[in-house]
Structure 1
Amino acid sequence: MQKMTNESELLEASVAGNTEAFGSIVERYQSLICGITYSATGNLSKSEELAQETFIRAWKGLSGLKELGKFRGWLCTIARNAVKTSIRQRMRDATVASVPIEDAGQIESVEPGPVERVISKEQQAIVWGALQRIPEKYREPIVLFYRQKQSVNQAAGGLGLSEDVVRQRLSRGRKLLKAEIATVVEEVLGRTGPSKVFTVAVVAALPALTAQTATAAVAGAAVKGAPAVKAVFLSGLSGAVLGPLLGLLGGIFGTWMSIKNTQSARERRFMVIMGIACWIALILFIAVPLVLSLTGVIPKLAYWPSFGLFFVLLAPSIVWSNARQRRIQKEEGTYVEVEFRPAKLTKSNIYGAFGGSIFGSVCWIFVLAFLTKDWLIALSVLIFSVILFFISTKKCLGETSKFFGILLIDMAAIALITFVIVNLRWERWMEFYRDSYSGSFDMPLWGMNLILLAVFSVLLGLFVLVIRKERQYREIKSEGNEKRQKKTARPV
């Protein structure tokens, strides 16, 4: 068989189950991946162990990589996630202490007898002690530079940075190293890179693909319209395109109704201007970033900050717009005071309101727990939702005037259970996600807590405002009834 050198061919052959082709991939990227893992751990043996784990994970998940051209970045993400998982496991396991630097040489290497045996544990301690004091943004380029035969181009490619940026970081990193230590660092890093033995060890450890998996992988790589690819495309289309399209139709209807309900030419002009401004913002902040992310021009994660910014700006814009519209109506003499009147609640209204709010609020937790096979949490969420639904509806049917108060208590209970579950299980769910290799997104626990805090704060705040409005309405109505009763009781 003719030897393949093109990376795309090697990856396609690897997807089909060709271990020899994947061995060539390992040989190309082993210095990069070992450099990344060493830069994070400072332990030669552990870094190669994590690098080997990275390649095995990549082998298992390669068929799920939709764009083979992004293999290098995807592989680096797996390596960094493997490091994070390893560090978290060490921290959680109280019985297993972190390996001291001075004991680094006592750990068994994945390679039985290569250069690492020549490097003394004192040298390893000196090197890592010097590197550890350097910020990671400078440490990683230094490690990759010396591990990859002092090639700025390869180091830049591995980090996904320009060569100029890598040169600047190398220069800064060298300055942070003491002159007498810099030579030792260069020597040790240059001599401890993975060799051919590492490649052989990885290939030998690769689990075999079943015939069915290999056939499906070949079909997926050869035919762009294969069922698996169509399924991925359709799921992405439904989430990323269908949702915005439905929102677009709703937005068009809402804009048309806002303009239609105006009472004067001046108010109509204002609403037309606001409608145009809103659509321009929608295009700039949501439509354009969405198209760019779906076509791969910008990273997919870059879409979400723009999406969030749109809604951050939307709230104050709506408040200002409503205030301005009321002012115009008052100046034009068309303003009518809107009286708050609580809606009349029927049995079906109550069931629908509580069912939608309770089950809708926790369904994402149930789905995540189900997908990660966290059956205990999935069952607990389901039981909690059913019990809360029956208690709330029974209480509200007995006293409909307390509808919003009960709903507020429900939201507080849902917020509490959500925070508890997320803080207990989020790391496990993210580990399951990392093992799926479907992307590079990694939401930290603090970030998730921040999002939940913002969402529930807004919801609870809205319920409090509605309850206050309802109480004011009832007080005004009660005062009116008392005045009418006094007038009726007054003797003629």
Structure 2
Amino acid sequence: MNTQVLETLVHTHLPAAARGDRDAYGRIVAGCQSTVTSIALAIVRDVPASEDIAQEAFLSAWQNLRRLNNPASFLPWLRQITRNLARDHLRAQHHRANPGGDIEALIASVADPQPGPSEHLAEAQDHAIAAAVIDSLPEESREVLLLYYREGQSSRQVAGLLGLQDAAVRKRLSRARERVREELLQRLGEFAKSTAPGAGFTAAVAAMLMVGAPPAAAATAFGAGALGAAHGATKIGMGALGGAFAGIAGGLWGIWFGVRHLLRDPFDRREKRQVIAYAVFTSLITIGFSLGIVALAKVPGWIPHLALSVGFMLAITWACGVWLPRIVARRTAREIATDPAAAERHARARRRGRLIAAGAMALATAGLVLGLWASGRIG
């Protein structure tokens, strides 16, 4: 996106975003996402981690927008949030100085892959090569080079997005070309363009704004699942099924979106198995609850509906508030020991998630009672 267009976009939509308009903030996210993910990728040299960090940066900025008095400060502020989060991630992960290994050996392995799922192998090795190339660049050139390839190879555009002079950008690009041969720079350019965030990234951030923090999967599951099913309970037949399927879809999306970062970067195999078991369990009870509400649509009275809802609420509360914290207890302990600041930040996010979950449960319960009243079961 052209720098002037982006600045106009921010100035136009930031006031509304600061007042809580998620759509306005979503438009800002769409305009800034390439810059933010490039900054994160330049530091952590890992695409999935860079996207997680960028999403967390956008969420952090959203939660603190009202503290920003000058719209012109938004982009520098967002860039600094991203850099801080990326450095916190590196300290927690103890990344090696050169995560990619021997570049020449990696290129040879891509050219002559071993038997097996060759496409997946080549993709993984391309990522490793890109990580090694990024690591070999001067630190000041990394953000510039990644954004240069993602923004149509315009140094002026990169200068505007990073708050630099065009001459400074050109100098950093020149230094990068001196350090890395053209073939590798071309490979890095292709990698940068192919991994640039798209509409799916914007949608993921928008979903995070709805639940407040990525770990609040139970809030999403209950809020989407229970409200959808409660709405369906006021109707009969296909109407109820439509409400239930909407609840199931929303609930399942919330559950698996909430644990995706644990599955991408598990503490160990044991944690990964336990997280999958947790996600499957909460998925099954979400499906069971939504279909159960539909099955009770023709049952008179309100007690069975309320009993099913209370049972579902208790199961979700136990899974999210007791089981999941036990699963990640070793990860949490390591983070407290290695990065207390990040641990405290994540603890605050979990507390917000619990508050959001409680609010979602209250809204879902109110929606269910309203549905029962509208259907004539109560009153």
Q: Which TM-score bucket, shorter chain as reference?
A: 0.3 to 0.5
Instruction: Give the TM-score, by structure 1 length.
Output: 0.37
Instruction: Give the TM-score, by structure 2 length.
Output: 0.48
